[in-house]
C-alpha cells in the first residue's frame, strides 16, 4: 500500500508505539518505535490504492506533522529520527539503537520477530502506545496491514470481531 510521493496519507489519529527489540549490531535490548494509523485513513487524492482502514503500520515516512514529531522526539529521546538508508536509497524516519546508535530499518522493526509483530499475549503486553489526535498528514509514507497489530489494537480497546464464517467442505461422492 505504498503511496505516491505526491499523495499524502491522512489519518484520523495515530499511535506512537514503543516496544523492545534486539539491536542487530550490538545485540543489546533497545527501545524501538513505530506508528500505527487510526481511522479514518485515506490518501489525500481520494484514490483507494487498496488502503485498509484496519490499523495500518506506517513505514518509510518522509515527513510527518509537527505534533507527531514533537511527541516522538520526547518519547524516543531522539532515537527515532530522520536518517539516510543505503538499502532504501532514501532518507526517512527510522529507529536507532540506544546503545550503539546503529540504524534499525522498518522491515527489521515491523517484520517477523520484531517488537511490532506480537505472537503472544505477553508480547502484546510489552507494546506501549501514545495516541496523537488528528487529522494527521504524512507525506512520502507507506502503509502496510499488520494482522498482529490489528489484533493488538482490538485487545487494547476491547473490540470483539465476529468469528469468521466457516464453510463446510463439499465431499464428492461417487
Per-residue model confidence as pLDDT tens digits over 96-149: 999 999 999 888 899 888 999 998 989 999 999 999 999 999 988 888 888 889
Each residue's pLDDT tens digit, 28-64:
999 999 999 988 888 888 776 666 566 689 998 999 9
Q: Are 5 and 140 in contact (CB under 8 A)?
A: yes
Q: Where are the domains of the chain?
A: 13-157
Pairing of the two strands 103-104 and 9-22: unpaired
Nearest Cα residue to 145 out of 41, 73, 47: 41
Amino acid at each position: 500500500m505504498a503511496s505516491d510521493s505526491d499523495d499524502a496519507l491522512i489519518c484520523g489519529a495515530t499511535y506512537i508505539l514503543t516496544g523492545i527489540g534486539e539491536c542487530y549490531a550490538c545485540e543489546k535490548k533497545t527501545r524501538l518505535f513505530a506508528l500505527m494509523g487510526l481511522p479514518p485513513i485515506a490518501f489525500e487524492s481520494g484514490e483507494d490504492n487498496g488502503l485498509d482502514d484496519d490499523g495500518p503500520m506506517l513505514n518509510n515516512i518522509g515527513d510527518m506533522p509537527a505534533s507527531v514529531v514533537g511527541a516522538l522526539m520526547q518519547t524516543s529521546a531522539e532515537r527515532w529520527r530522520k536518517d539516510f538508508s543505503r538499502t532504501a536509497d532514501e532518507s526517512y524516519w527510522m529507529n536507532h539503537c540506544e546503545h550503539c546508535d546503529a540504524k534499525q530499518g522498518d522491515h527489521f522493526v515491523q517484520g517477523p520477530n520484531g517488537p511490532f509483530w506480537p505472537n503472544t499475549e505477553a508480547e502484546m503486553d510489552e507494546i506501549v502506545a501514545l495516541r496523537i489526535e488528528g487529522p494527521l498528514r504524512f507525506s512520502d509514507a507507506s502503509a502496510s496491514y499488520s494482522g498482529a497489530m490489528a489484533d493488538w489494537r482490538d485487545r487494547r480497546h476491547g473490540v470483539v470481531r465476529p468469528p469468521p464464517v466457516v464453510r463446510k467442505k463439499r465431499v464428492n461422492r461417487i
